[in-house]
Every structure is written in C-alpha cells, then in structure tokens.
Structure 1
Amino acid sequence: MLGAIISGKVADIIGRRGALWFVELLLIIGWLAIAFAKGVWWLIVGRLLLGFGTGVQTYVSIIYVAETIPPNIRGGFTMASQLMVCAGIAVMFSFGNIIPWHFLAVIGTIPCIIQLIGLFFVPESPRWLANVGRQKELEASLQWLRGKETDISQEAAEIQDCNQSLYKQPISRFQELLETRYARPVSIGVGLSFLLPWGGGNGVLLYASSIFDTAGCNVGIATTTMSFIQIPFSVLGVLLMDKFGRRPLLMVDLAGACLGGLLIGVGFLLQDLKLPVDLSATTVFVGMQMFFAFFAFGAGLPFVIIAEVFPMNIKSTAGSLAAFINYLNSWIVAYVFNFLFKWSSAGAFFIFSIIYALLILFVLKMLPETKRKSLEEIQALWTQEVH
C-alpha cells in the first residue's frame, strides 16, 4: 500500500522508465533476500521489498504503456500485464509443491532481470518528457515508438497543446481532486478501485483451497484447473479489448463473475440443505471455475481505465490514490473473507454477487467508451462536460 500511494510521485520525479528501473532493483533484492534468508528477519525484509516494489510497479507500468502505445492497440497491451500475472500464478501453483521455496524465489528474479535489461532499449514516455519541458527528447521518443518513417508532428503537437492547457492551473494536493472539473474521472477511477475488491476476488483466491475442501471437491484437481483456466481467458481479454472496447468487456466480465458467485452460493446452499454431496460439490466447482475465468478475463480492465481517464496533471495524485484504495480494500476483503465465509459460506458469495450487480449499474451510468481515443481526446471529454 505504501508503494501504491507514492507510485505516481516517484514516476513524476524520476520518470516512468526510471521508476521501473528502481522497482526492478528492489524486486530483485527482495527475491534474493528470501532465497538466501538466514533467518525470519531476512524473509520479512524480502517480503517488505516485494510488497513495496509491486505497489509502485502496478501503477507505473500501466502509465508507461498507456502513454507510449497507439490508441488502437493500447488497451490490449495494458491488459497484457494481467496475462503475465495469471501465467505467474499458474507456474507457482504447478511447481510450488515440487520445487523448494528458495528455488522459487530465485526463479522470481528472472522476469525482473529481463525487464531491467529491456528498459535500457526503450525510450521514456513522450508525455512525461512533455511535462518536464524536454521537447527534443519528446520528439525522439515518439519517433522511436511510431517508427522512423512515421510523421509524428501532429501527435507531438497534440501532446504539447494538451500539456500546456492542463498546466495553466497546476495541481498537486489531494483535496484539489474534489474540484468539479475532475469529478467524473476521479469518481470513475476511485469508484472502481473501491468497489471491485469488494467483489471478493482476492479473498476467494487466497482461500480457494479451503473453499474447495469445504465443498467436498478434490482440492488438487480443482486448484490446478483454476490456475490454468485463467490463462486462456486472460488471452481472450487481451485480444478482444481493442475490438469491442472497455465498457462492454467490463460489463461482460462483471456479469460472468456475478453468475459464478451465484453458482458458488447456490452450491453451498445445497450443502446446507443436506442435498447430495456430489451435487453441491459440482455446483461449487463449476461456479469457482467460472468466477476465476471471468476474474482473469477482466482483472486488468480497471487498471486500463485508471491509466486512461485521469488527465496528465492529476495522473500521479489521482492514480496513486486509486492504487492505494485498491490495495487497501483488497487487504480488508482478504482479511474479513474467512470470518464472512465461516458466518455463512452461501451468504458470502451472494453478497459478492450483489456487489458485482451494483458494479454493472455503476459502469452503465458512469463509464464512457475510450476505445481508440488518444489520451488527449479522453481529456477533452471531461472538458466538454464542464462547459
């Protein structure tokens, strides 16, 4: 959570690429501290570094992608981060029982090292360069990103014009996010960050083995199936993002998770009614697979939206706030999930389904479609609403 709350400021001060370099170094040190731990304190330090680094990386990485990728493919590339998360979960579920934990920690350094090296070969975000007044570097970065033969003059001018109009009234304090002109983008970004964790995703993921065991499922088969089913659905989300847009995909994702939660709740209700174990276990199994399939399908969508909706001059402050709220509520849900599940296994999932239904209404009411729009065009949407 600490990493999330300062992520935007770090990215503003040392740049998007510089922030990612810093994070990868922290993550490598954290994994090595765990891998070669000589006592419990080494493990604690390693976990703290990993948590802090992940908090910074989560938001900075999507900012970098959103600010560098062309609008027609921006959504899919931003969503690809969730695909990598699902792949990592599948790897850990598959090998966690056969590879010693300290070897797994060493394996964790590999993607960090690859990204650390890769960052030497990519340019800084042109929009960040515009913010700090580095015009020549902005044009060089944009030319590298769009290709040597591409005319970047119009895009560079749009970035500069938007940057100049935004910074006529600079903003740096959290309370200024309450201004009317930022009401809708802040409501969308912060609202999604607050509500989505209460759909129970992280809590269900942490207690998946206990849920399957309580339902009478084969835990090994159920958890392995759950981890691998996420990968194709994540790929599907990436492929469909820029074809159908953020708004319809998010509603499909929420509807699927809502239905999955209802099935799980019905399964446990059947168990409470003392109906055949096979029936309740099968219902929970199917519901859990559906829940996590749609969780993977759209889990990266909120971060795509957060990276797009905030204007450049409040991106660091509002984005950090949204990331912090997301992590805080995810932690609260993970903490209370076990108590809620013990209170009523069926009731817990019915509550999660109700929250997903409310989220569908929130998206219908609040979220505009941003597919194939430049960040400057999205900013213009909020300006038009104010006037």
Structure 2
Amino acid sequence: MASQDTYEIWPQLFASFAVCVSGMCTGSFFAFSSVVIPLLQRPDLQGGLNLSLEDGSWIVSLFFIGSICGALLAGPLNNQFGTKRLAIFIALVVNVQWGFVAYNTTLAWILVGRIVSGMCYGAFLVFVKVYNAEITHPNLRGSTSTFYTTNLSFGFCYGLTCGYFVRDLSLLCGLFSLPSLLFLFLSLFIPNSPFWLVQVGREDEARNSLQWLRGSAYDITKEFQQIREKKLTKEVESKELSLCKKVQSPDLWQPLLRVGALLVLIEIGGMNITSQYLVVIFQLSGSNMDPYLAPLVVGGFRFGLGLCSTFIHRFVRRRPFIVLCFVVVAISYSAVALFTYLHDHHDSKAVQALNWIPVVGLVLIQVCDTVGFLVVINLNLQPESFPTQYRSIGCGLCGVITAFARFVMSKCFSQLLEFITLAGAFTLFGVMFVNIGIYCFYIVPENKGQCLVQTEEKLVK
C-alpha cells in the first residue's frame, strides 16, 4: 500500500538541481562585469580602449535594466507556457547572446549583451523560485532552495577563475557560455510543475508529474487534492472579481509590499555591489593582495561554504539564522570600512598587518548572501508569500523591484566612492544592515516544513 511518508527524494533533487543550474549562468553574468571592467580600463587591451569607472558602471547597471524587462515578461510567460519550455527558451537565448558578444567585442555589443543577459537573469528570478517551491515536498524545500545559490557561487567562482587566467574577451565569452549549455541539456528532462498543470486544466498530467516527483511508493491523493481544491477555490474567487479588483487584491499587494521593501533595503545596503565590483573594491581597500587573485579567494570560499548550505537549511530555523546573517554582514562592512580608513589616513606597519581584513570581510559578506539572503528571502520567502494564481506575477514584480534597486545602486556606486570614499560607503552599508536585520526579524515567518497551501495566506492576514 502506498504511504505518505515514503516519498523519494532523488526525482525532486534532480528536477530542482536541473532548473537551478541557471544559477551557474547567473554567477557567470556577475563575474563578467567584475573581471571585464578592469580589463577595459587598461589602454593596452581592447584596441586601446581606456574605460573609466563611470563608463564601466553602465556594464553593470544596464544588466539590471534588462532584468526588469525579463522579470516582467517571465511571470506571464511562465503562467502561459510552464517552466520547462521557458527554461529551454531562455537557455538558448543565453547561448546566442554570448556568441554575439564573442564575435564582436566592441563596447556597444557588450552593452547590448548585458541587457539581453539581464533579461535572462530576470526570468531566472521568477521561474526558478516558483518551480522549486511547487515541485518539492515541504520537508525538502529549504534544502533544494540552496541548489540555486550553490550553482550561482560555482558559476561566480568559475567566471572569476576564467578572468584570472584569460585576458582575451572573445575567449572569455566562449568559456562563460558553457554553463548555459549544461542548463539547456538538463532542462530537456525536467517535468512540468503539478501546480501549473492543474492550473491549465491538464490534471492527468499533473497527477503523473506529482507521482514521478514523489515516487511510486508515495500516496499523492491528499497532496493532489489540496492543489486541486486550491485551484477550484481561486476559480470561484476569480469569477467574482473584476480585473481591477484582482490587481487591488491584498493577496498580491500585501506580501509584495512586505517582501519588496526587504529586497529594496538589502540592495540599498550594497549587497549586490560587493560581487559586481570585487576587483575594484580590492584595489581601493588598500589590501596588498593581488586584486585579481583576491576575488578568486572570495569566490572559492563562497562556493565551498555554499555547498554546506543544503545541510544547514535542513536543520536550522529560518528567522534566527537570517538575523544572524544580517549581524555578520553589518560587522564585516564596518571592519572593512575601518581598515580602509586607517590605510588611507594612518598607514603603518600595524595597519599593514591587518591586510587580511578586506578578504575575510568580503568572504563573510558573500557567504551570508549565498547561504542566507538568497535562500531564505529570495528562494523561500518570496514564493511562499503569494497564492498560486499570483505566485509567478508576484515573484516577477519582486524581481522588478530588486532589479531597479540594483540598477540605481550599481550606477551610483562610482559617485558614492567619489563623494564619501570606500570607507564611508561601507560604513553606511553597515549601519543599513543593522536596521534591516531588525525589520527582517519582524516580517520573516517561520515556514520551515509547511506546505505551500499552509503558507500562502500567512503574510496576508
């Protein structure tokens, strides 16, 4: 007799990992700007192009303009075509854009490529978290959510490694395209989400998909009935609501306001800046470590500790863990700011003995982002906060909010350095994260081990 306690984990792990390989593509996107901007600043490379940091900021910021468009489009596309077909299409687009940039390495094509890759990243922000939330058993969701961050860390480390050993931009683009080829291959074998299949009226396929994901020994009756009843309830509600009232529904905007505010605050706190400008930050910090080698150390630790995140989230409770991450990031920002200030104003042997501080501080910031913020807030809190009919759209809007905040911060970072220096900027970020941690403590619910049907309404009460 089938049991509700003997679900298989391997089908879920494969499906989740396959779609989360898109994180490797994201990691290579982030590493690209970090290694290419310093290359383009060198007059002996790229046909004598001597790029300023202000001009280079467009390489970073236009990526997030593209991600706004991608996030807006991905929600409706995911609802219309499902994650599998959307993932295959996006993987093809990623490969094509790398090919165009490799063929023509002028600044104009690089900027076009950054917009296109940003659109793909915006789509990742939507369908990865939605798909992972809908296919995995509640007891596994926290662990499988770490697959994206682990892949992102690997892709980031891979990109930094390529940038350290390769100085030819065309060859770099070719190497950066390899993760998207793997993503394309694996996407061919993932099942469609049972939630999406029920939503579009393909219930027989939904049963087969859910049974495949849970294994032949698992009784899917109760779980499938919950999914079906949720869909029927929402159909009744949809018939009673006009389009205007749907947009005004608290099921959408209440969780959007709470989660969106948290995402914006984290970006204003400079979290994305540290990965996009790693080489530049090490150059300005005063550390005597090779500014091209130091990011490799950061990326290596980020990937290594990111591998442990699957086991960490299998056991820890989310709220205390994420608050701890905020505290660690605030201390790390402050420590790097203090070292940079002392190096700029009181350089001495005692200060030089503390050269390890920028490396350790940035390692801790990146690790907390990978193990904490991306998993708990981006990949768990977002999809768990929205009802099924709003999940893709809600996550898409969260992606738009995040992308816009990142665009503003990445474009303004060079001016921020000019006005208050790196020490001042990191001091500001440290103060921001203390306040964000307090806000996070009150709005992050403890959803560990709860199914989506149970978590959907918690943030709209």
User: Normalising to structure 1: TM-score of the pair?
Assistant: 0.91
Which consecutive unaligned segments of at least 5 residues does structure 1 have? none
Q: Look up the match of 2:18.
A: none
Change (3 A) 1:115 1:214: closer
Which consecutive unaligned segments of at least 5 residues does structure 2 have? 1-67
Q: Look up the match of 2:335.
A: 263
CA contact (8 A) 1:193 1:325 kept: yes
Percent identity between the two aligned chains:
22
Change (3 A) 1:350 1:176: farther
Distance 1:53 1:172 in 2: 32
Change (3 A) 1:45 1:336: closer
Q: Look up the match of 2:419.
A: 343
Backbone CA RMSD of aligned residues: 2.3
323-332 vs 31-40, greater mean Cα deviation: 31-40
Return the offset for 1:23: 0.8
1:35 has 2:35 as partner: no
Q: Look up the match of 2:409.
A: 333
User: Normalising to structure 2: TM-score of the pair?
Assistant: 0.77
Q: Aligned pairs, how many?
A: 384
Distance 2:342 2:107 in 1: 44
Distance 2:450 2:399 in 1: 23
Return the offset for 1:114: 2.5
1:25 has 2:97 as partner: no
Q: Look up the match of 1:46.
A: 113
1:3 has 2:65 as partner: no
60-69 vs 207-216, greater mean Cα deviation: 207-216
134-143 vs 279-288, greater mean Cα deviation: 279-288
Distance 1:117 1:284 in 2: 39
Q: Look up the match of 1:132.
A: 200
Change (3 A) 1:202 1:156: same
Change (3 A) 1:221 1:41: closer
Return the offset for 1:333: 0.9
Give the alignment of 1:54-203 within 5 angstroms: 54-99=121-166, 100-170=168-238, 176=246, 178-182=248-252, 184-203=254-273
Q: Look up the match of 1:316.
A: 392
The residue matched to 1:96 in structure 2 has which SS? Answer: helix
The residue matched to 1:370 in structure 2 has which SS? Answer: coil
Q: Look up the match of 1:378.
A: 455
CA contact (8 A) 1:77 1:238 kept: yes
Change (3 A) 1:103 1:198: same
203-212 vs 133-142, greater mean Cα deviation: 203-212
CA contact (8 A) 2:338 2:423 kept: yes
Letter in 2 for 1:61: V
Q: Look up the match of 1:225.
A: 297
CA contact (8 A) 1:251 1:363 kept: yes
Letter in 1 for 2:315: K
Return the offset for 1:278: 0.7
Deviations 1:331-372 (A, max 9, x none): 111111222122222221121112211221112111111111
Return the offset for 1:382: 4.5
Letter in 1 for 2:223: E
CA contact (8 A) 2:298 2:359 kept: no
- Counterpart among 250, 269, 274 of residue 346 in structure 2: 274
319-328 vs 99-108, greater mean Cα deviation: 99-108
Change (3 A) 1:174 1:243: farther
1:253 has 2:330 as partner: no
Q: Look up the match of 2:56.
A: none
Deviations 1:215-245 (A, max 9, x none): 3212234222112111122123232123113
Letter in 1 for 2:364: M
